[in-house]
Amino acid sequence: MDRIDRWKLADELTVYQIALLISGYDPAEFEDDRADHWPKEVKGDISPFLNAIKNAARSEKLKFTPVRYENSYSSDDIDWTTSTVDIESLCDWLRRRNFTDGFFVGRDDHVDKISDLSGEYYAPKLAAAVRAWNEVTADPTGLNGKTPKKALEIWLRKHANEYGLTGKDGNPNELGIEEICKVANWKLGGGASPTPAPLIEEAFSVPPDRWSRKARPNSPTPKRKPLLTLTRQASEIDDDIPF
């Protein structure tokens, strides 16, 4: 694994780490020095990304965990070196802008016209259907015990705001979501995905003291007949034999 790829395991990162990664730098190389001491070239490369991410975090377009200075004489009381941004929300934000950086969002050789918000032919419901299908099929564990339709509905409700799938009251537009599911559903016959075997075994497991078979008692030992009885029986047999 490339050293920089290890950062993909993080669930949250600071705005400086994100800006460095988008620019192609390994944040580990800059941890021992303050940002204002970084090389001029590095600061110039990350500046556009750094400002854009800060603004998105302030306006709550990103899921953001701010850490604030207790005594600050500046209008910006956020400690950006320790405040963190949720990576999943960052990736969603980048996709909505059709921005592929090659690290957080994969870079393609062609522009994705379906998800291009600024495109002349952008169709929100089509974009929602394609992305819902991609996201749900990329995580098979999310289908455990659910039909594809149900899994798609859950994803679309979660991202309804991004594709105009909400009503005036802010709640998801159930009719619109149902229409999109009809397009993205690959299993029209219904039926939930099977639950993995270990889960089934665990669900139906029973404590051994309740269902363990009791030991079968030993068969009784046959009693030996007295010798006198055996001799008498033999004599009777001999008497019946003709000569």
Partner residues linked to 86 by β-bridges:
12
Question: How close are the terminal C-alpha atoms of the chain, in Å?
Answer: 101
Using one digit for the tens of pLDDT, what is the confidence trace for 202-222?
444 444 444 333 444 444 455
Which comes out higher in pLDDT, residue 229 or 173? 173
Please give the Cα distance from 240 to 233 (Å, whole number): 11
Q: Which of 25-34, 58-67, 115-124, 217-226 has the lowest mean pLDDT?
A: 217-226
Residue that the structure tokens 């999109």 belong to:
180
CB 18 within 8 A of CB 53: yes
Residue that the structure tokens 């991004």 belong to:
162
CB atoms within 10 A of CB 77: 13
CB 104 within 8 A of CB 86: no
Mean pLDDT of the chain: 79
Residues 6+ apart with CB under 8 A from 167: 173
pTM, to two decimals: 0.48
Quick one: pLDDT band at residue 150, thresholds 50, 70, 90? Answer: very high
Residues 6+ apart with CB under 8 A from 183: 125, 126, 129
Which comes out higher in pLDDT, residue 211 or 96? 96
Please give the Cα distance from 47 to 51 (Å, whole number): 6
CB 127 within 8 A of CB 114: yes
Mean pLDDT confidence for 107-124: 71
Residues 6+ apart with CB under 8 A from 127: 114, 115, 163
| Domain regions of the chain by residue span | 1-109, 112-204
Residue 166 has pLDDT above 50, yes or no: yes
Residues in the chain, overall count: 243
Q: Where are the alpha helices (DSSP H) in the chain?
A: 15-22, 40-58, 87-96, 124-137, 148-158, 174-184, 197-203, 208-211, 227-240
